[in-house]
Amino acid sequence: MKVVIAGFGTAGTARLAAYAGVEGADVVAVVDPSPARRAAARSAGVSAYPELAALPGSDRPDVVDVCAPPSYHRLLTMAALDAGSHVICEKPVAFRTADALAMAAASRRAGRLLYPAHNYLFSPMMGQLRECAATAGTPQALRIRIERQTHAKGSRGYQPDWRRDLRIAGGGILLDHGSHCVYMATRLFGEPPAKVSALARWQTEGLDEAMNVRLHFPHGTADIELSWVGERRTNLYALTGPAGSVTITDGTARLIGPGGTEERALESPTGSSTHEEWFAGLFADFTAVLCRPAAWERPLADVISTTEIIEAAYTSARLHGEPVPIREG
């Protein structure tokens, strides 16, 4: 399977390393507008071009992996789909629900798969949360707390602080790390929430640097606490069901169930921000879905749902916490 990586910053560089361990995937080229980043790709042994349209016929990809900053996601995804490639797109796939719907429509029209790179679904934390949900019953409460002292830095060859530039990032910590939390919650509860409420701490330019979000599901709630202005780098995931619970604090999981209490060590997510070690699971799922066109609606629903929930949270935060309903369907 021929793969082209679109965007060779921090995420794209990590993805190239991750593909080296994936059987059946051959990265044939990198696309990046920066001459310095193209030179870095060539130094890594990969052909590089300034745009997708410049790819020669020999490097026409089966898959375009969009790793560019968020403001380029729609443009690159649409171009790749129109050219006949399947697409893996970094989160957040879209800023606005209208964009997510347009990208989904383009996927259906082209007959090509649009798959979100929701890598936290393949993390050790999600594995423990899934196990708890399976044994403890329908989730009643989920709490996720992500504390950082600042934002993740981008490539020095581009713009290291692009995550704090609304023109490029589209939003702050909610769009950045909060995307992971939203799709994890909807997958654990098995459906989108009925409504969303949120409160934010805004930077002077209107960028959210801290956000508390509540997702109101029919049978429970998910509370997501996010901060780029915390005292340390740490993570907490806690899920409760009728017959048990799990609490994950960085690299330790504590499970409580009918059989008693158990503590487990797991790989902490507080190290690298790219987590390329989770990519094999993501790519295996992508290829499994790719082989079953009838299953392509699932990732499209994930893209649309995640975008809509985040958009609703921003609306609620601007309304000082007033709940915002999520549309049905």
pLDDT value, residue 41: 95
pLDDT digits (tens, 9 = 90+) for 244-275: 999 999 999 999 988 899 999 987 675 667 78
pLDDT value, residue 174: 97
- What is the CA angle 97-98-99, rounded to 5? 90
pLDDT value, residue 272: 65
> Can you list the residues of the chain whose pLDDT is less than 50?
none
pLDDT value, residue 329: 55
Alpha helices in 148-207 (DSSP H): 166-169, 173-176, 178-189
Q: What percent of the chain has pLDDT over 70?
A: 97
pLDDT digits (tens, 9 = 90+) for 210-254: 999 999 999 999 999 999 999 999 999 999 999 999 999 999 999
Cβ(327)–Cβ(312) below 8 Å: no
Dist CA 304 CA 101 (whole Å): 6
**Which DSSP state fits 95?**
S
Q: What CA–CA distances, in Å, run from 87 to 61, 62, 76?
A: 10, 9, 9
- Residue 26 β-bridge partners: 2
**Which DSSP state fits 30?**
E
- What is the CA angle 24-91-230, rounded to 5? 125
The C-alpha torsion from 215 through 294 and 329 to 197, rounded to 10°, is: 10
pLDDT value, residue 155: 76
- Which of 8, 2, 4 shows the shortest CA–CA distance to 25? 2
